[in-house]
């Protein structure tokens, strides 16, 4: 029987010479750590054996909230190898957020930073988690201590395409976060398509600068390098100066638009500095056309913009080389997200679900082997988001031009994307409305030069109350991940509403659009 475990596919792509460097760390201060391909193989075996020694039920969830480190990546790979389900959590999440994820996903194992062990383990054990380990970004903690006693040989668990590999929580426009269930087949098919479409070559070196708790840094970047046997230069935190300085040693870079904006502010970014680079990829949020042009002028490279979602991994991409499906098109068109990837069906529909004419704007729906299995334990929500003929409704609004390029023009979902992180207004408004003196609130996204878009809170006071905007934000900060905190807060007499009573967020967005310009 063929083992369709994604780990097996990635492992098969390791170079024959296992002593070559697979990952090299760079923090600009300490001496780099080097991990060979053999190290990756042995360490993932030891971690997988540790998970196996715990005698967990098959497909147990392993929830992980730790700082970025090579060992955190190894834990992800080991979880696949052992046949369990990886659940990455943003390090910015606070206790109420973590409590929700743990209670919802019921992980058998939770791994957290040593500093957070007290509160995380309390939440986890109360929710029935059997094991809580710690992992620091300096290789400290109980996880590696326990794994050190394990064998460095391990046969990957046998998996099918349809078996769960990971759950990624993505917030909903209403209600709490939903866990998008991604299978081994979803992840493998997307990794293989991107390997070919982005023309990975022997000798490519990926400069890895993104966090590894979301699709972009965890799957697109790591799978891309591993499935090509390519080395990674590993930045544990994005630092624009350091990233620019390491471009000389790399050939591929992936970033959200904020990373490009910040690197453009570095004088050291020049054509010469980027001369070894083959490919710059941007995604997770719209890339401003000015950034696209500025990057070309400063480095000589045309950024390749692509589009994806937690539920679908990558969906579309501008071409890397000639795309035979589109008459050999090679142009990376700024402002577009390119063509549907091979194997992805993408259609644009009107409100009635009927396909619109070429060039017309409508809702984007997608289908393909990369589209997720559904939301964890939410069959009704899953059913709502799929059409009768099996297309997933992305909630993004766009059009396809006569050359086949897809442009995203907006979103039907009420979502703010700030520096590549998603902020769902409904969640923030829910918290704001509970604060003393607040009658109601609205969160809107406005343009921001660094983060692309940021949230601004507009609050109506209860009769007789005088809530202090700064105090409201400070209180929110104790409850929610820092990137979700509105950058400004205004107290107003009332919110603009239409005749149906619905808050007219477009008017608020218009009113506050120049706040940060
Ligand atoms: C940090 N801050 C932010 C954000 N990040 N505010 C709004 N939006 C943000 N994204 C605020 C913090 O709250 C804090 O505020 C202050 O900035 C400094 O925090 P720090 O953590 O030091 O910030 P940073 O290191 O400068 O981080 C900025 C960043 C980071 C490097 C741009 O946000 C980042 O790595 N973004 C990438 C996100 C990503 O990987 N997305 C992919 C999702 P205060 O001081 O007031 O507390 S995957 C996806 O979307 C799909 C599938 C796709 O297509 O890829
Ligand atoms: P998430 O659910 O966090 O994975 O975010 C997915 C959303 O990010 C998509 O539904 C889009 O709205 C947005 N997105 C991703 N890539 C792009 C892009 N290149 N341009 C515009 N929006 C994007």
103 near 61, Cβ under 8 Å? no
324 near 331, Cβ under 8 Å? no
Q: pLDDT, tens digit, for every residue of 258-280?
A: 999 999 999 999 999 999 999 99
How many CA atoms lie less than 13 Å away from 226 in the CB half-sphere?
A: 26
Tell me the average pLDDT across 294-305.
98
Q: Whose CA is nearest to atom 45 of ligand 1?
A: 482
Residues of the chain with CATH 3.40.50.12780: 6-237
Residues of the chain with CATH 2.30.38.10: 340-411
pLDDT band per the 50, 70, 90 thresholds, residue 171: confident
Ligand 2 pocket, CB under 6 A: 170, 215, 283-286, 305, 307-310, 337, 394, 396, 408, 411, 417, 422
Q: What is the CA radius of gyration of the chain?
A: 23
The answer to whether residue 131 scores a pLDDT higher than 90 is yes
Which percentage of the chain shows pLDDT scores above 70?
99
Q: pLDDT, tens digit, for every residue of 22-64?
A: 999 999 889 999 999 999 999 999 999 999 999 999 999 999 9
Q: pLDDT, tens digit, for every residue of 435-462?
A: 999 999 999 999 999 999 999 999 999 9
Give me the sheet containing 34-36, strands edge to edge: 34-36, 21-25, 231-234, 205-208, 252-255, 279-282, 304-309, 313-317, 339-340
Collapsing DSSP to helix, strand or coil, 155 comes out as coil
Per-residue pLDDT, 180: 98
Report the alpha-carbon distance of residue 310 to residue 257 in Å, rounded: 17
Report the alpha-carbon distance of residue 442 to residue 433 in Å, rounded: 9
337 near 216, Cβ under 8 Å? no
* Minimum-distance ligand 2 atom for the alpha carbon of 306: 19
Report the alpha-carbon distance of residue 68 to residue 211 in Å, rounded: 6
Question: Looking at the domain covering 340-411, what would its CATH class be?
Answer: mainly beta
Q: Is the dihedral of CA 376, 381, 383, 387 positive or negative?
A: negative
Ligand 1 centroid to residue 93 C-alpha, Å: 12
Q: Which of 471, 498, 495 is nearest to 485 (CA)?
A: 471
The answer to whether residue 1 scores a pLDDT higher than 90 is no
pLDDT band per the 50, 70, 90 thresholds, residue 173: low
Q: Please report where in the chains the tokens 């394990």 appear, as a residue.
A: 150
Per-residue pLDDT, 175: 63
Q: Is the CB of 421 under 6 A from ligand 1?
A: yes
Q: Is the CB of 420 under 6 A from ligand 1?
A: yes
Residue 231 phi, psi dihedral angles, 5° rounding:
-70, 150
Q: Is the dihedral of CA 431, 437, 442, 446 positive or negative?
A: negative
Q: Which of 304, 240, 226 is nearest to 450 (CA)?
A: 240
Q: Whose CA is nearest to atom 4 of ligand 1?
A: 483
412 near 385, Cβ under 8 Å? no
Q: Which of 337, 370, 334 is nearest to 194 (CA)?
A: 370
Q: Which fold has domain 416-512?
A: GMP Synthetase; Chain A, domain 3 (3.30.300)
Nearest ligand atom owner, CA of 334:
2
Ligand 2 centroid to residue 306 C-alpha, Å: 9
Report the alpha-carbon distance of residue 86 to residue 218 in Å, rounded: 11
Ligand 2 centroid to residue 252 C-alpha, Å: 21
Q: Please report where in the chains the tokens 């949230």 appear, as a residue.
A: 455
Neighbours of 195 (CB within 10 A): 16
| Angle ∠(298,300,301) on CA atoms, nearest 5 | 110
Report the alpha-carbon distance of residue 466 to residue 80 in Å, rounded: 52
Report the alpha-carbon distance of residue 258 to residue 288 in Å, rounded: 10
Q: pLDDT, tens digit, for every residue of 77-121?
A: 999 999 999 999 999 999 999 999 999 999 999 999 999 999 999
Residues of the chain with CATH 3.30.300.30: 416-512
Helix (H) or strand (E) holding 455: strand 452-461
Identify how many contiguous H helices and E strands the chain contains and give both numbers.
16, 25
Collapsing DSSP to helix, strand or coil, 436 comes out as coil
Q: Please report where in the chains the tokens 């929700």 appear, as a residue.
A: 100
Question: Looking at the domain covering 6-237, what would its CATH class be?
Answer: alpha beta
Report the alpha-carbon distance of residue 7 to residue 9 in Å, rounded: 5
Report the alpha-carbon distance of residue 365 to residue 211 in Å, rounded: 28
Collapsing DSSP to helix, strand or coil, 392 comes out as strand
Residue 138: both structure tokens together: 């300096």
- Total-model pTM: 0.97
Q: pLDDT, tens digit, for every residue of 397-428?
A: 999 999 999 999 998 888 999 999 999 999 99
The per-residue pLDDT of the chain, averaged, comes to 97
Question: Three-state SS across 251-272?
Answer: CEEEECHHHHHHHHCCCCCCCC
Report the alpha-carbon distance of residue 143 to residue 140 in Å, rounded: 8
């Amino acid at each position: 029987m063929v083992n369709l475990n994604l780990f097996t596919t990635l492992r098969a792509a390791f170079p024959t010479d296992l002593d070559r460097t697979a990952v090299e760390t760079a923090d600009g201060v300490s001496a780099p750590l080097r991990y060979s391909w053999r190290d990756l193989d042995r360490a993932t075996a030891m971690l997988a054996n540790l998970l196996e020694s715990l005698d967990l039920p098959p497909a147990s969830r392993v929830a992980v909230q730790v700082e970025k480190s090579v060992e955190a990546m190894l834990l992800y790979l080991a979880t696949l190898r052992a046949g369990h389900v990886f659940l990455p959590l943003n390090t910015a999440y606070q206790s109420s957020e973590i409590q929700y994820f743990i209670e919802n996903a019921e992980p058998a194992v939770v791994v957290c930073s040593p500093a957070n062990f007290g509160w995380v383990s309390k939440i986890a054990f109360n929710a029935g988690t059997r094991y809580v380990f710690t992992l620091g970004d300096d290789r400290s903690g109980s996880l590696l201590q326990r794994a050190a006693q394990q064998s460095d040989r391990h046969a990957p668990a046998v998996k099918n395409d349809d078996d769960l590999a990971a759950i990624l929580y993505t917030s909903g426009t209403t209600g709490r976060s939903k866990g998008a269930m991604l299978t081994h087949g979803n992840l493998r098919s997307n990794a293989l398509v991107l390997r070919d479409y982005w023309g990975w070559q022997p000798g490519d070196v990926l400069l890895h600068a993104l966090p590894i708790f979301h699709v972009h840094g965890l799957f697109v970047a790591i799978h891309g390098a591993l499935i090509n046997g390519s080395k990674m230069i590993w930045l544990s935190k994005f630092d624009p100066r350091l990233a620019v300085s390491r471009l000389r040693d790399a050939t591929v870079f992936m970033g959200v638009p904020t990373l490009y904006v910040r690197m453009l502010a570095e004088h050291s970014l020049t054509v010469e500095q980027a001369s070894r680079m083959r490919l710059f990829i941007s995604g997770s949020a719209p890339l401003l056309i000015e950034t696209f042009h500025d990057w070309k002028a400063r480095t000589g490279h045309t950024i390749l913009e692509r589009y994806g979602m937690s539920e679908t991994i990558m969906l579309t991409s501008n071409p890397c080389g000639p795309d035979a499906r589109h008459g050999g098109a090679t142009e990376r068109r700024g402002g577009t997200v390119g063509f549907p990837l091979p194997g992805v069906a993408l259609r644009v529909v009107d409100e009635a679900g009927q396909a619109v004419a070429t060039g017309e704007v409508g809702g984007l729906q997608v289908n393909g082997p990369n589209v997720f299995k559904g939301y964890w334990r939410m069959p009704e929500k899953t059913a709502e988001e799929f059409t009768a003929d099996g297309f997933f409704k992305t909630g993004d609004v766009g059009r396809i031009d006569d050359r086949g390029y897809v442009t995203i023009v907006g979103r039907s979902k009420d979502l703010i994307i700030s520096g590549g992180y998603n902020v769902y207004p409904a969640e923030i408004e829910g918290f704001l409305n509970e604060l003393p003196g607040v009658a109601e609130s609205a969160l809107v996204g406005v343009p921001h030069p660094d983060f692309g878009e940021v949230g601004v809170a507009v609050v109506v006071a209860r009769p007789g109350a005088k809530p202090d905007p700064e105090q409201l934000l400070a209180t929110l900060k104790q409850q929610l991940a820092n990137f979700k905190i509105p950058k400004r807060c205004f107290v107003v007499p009332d919110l603009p509403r239409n005749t149906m009573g619905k808050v007219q967020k477009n008017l608020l967005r218009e009113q506050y659009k120049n706040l940060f310009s």
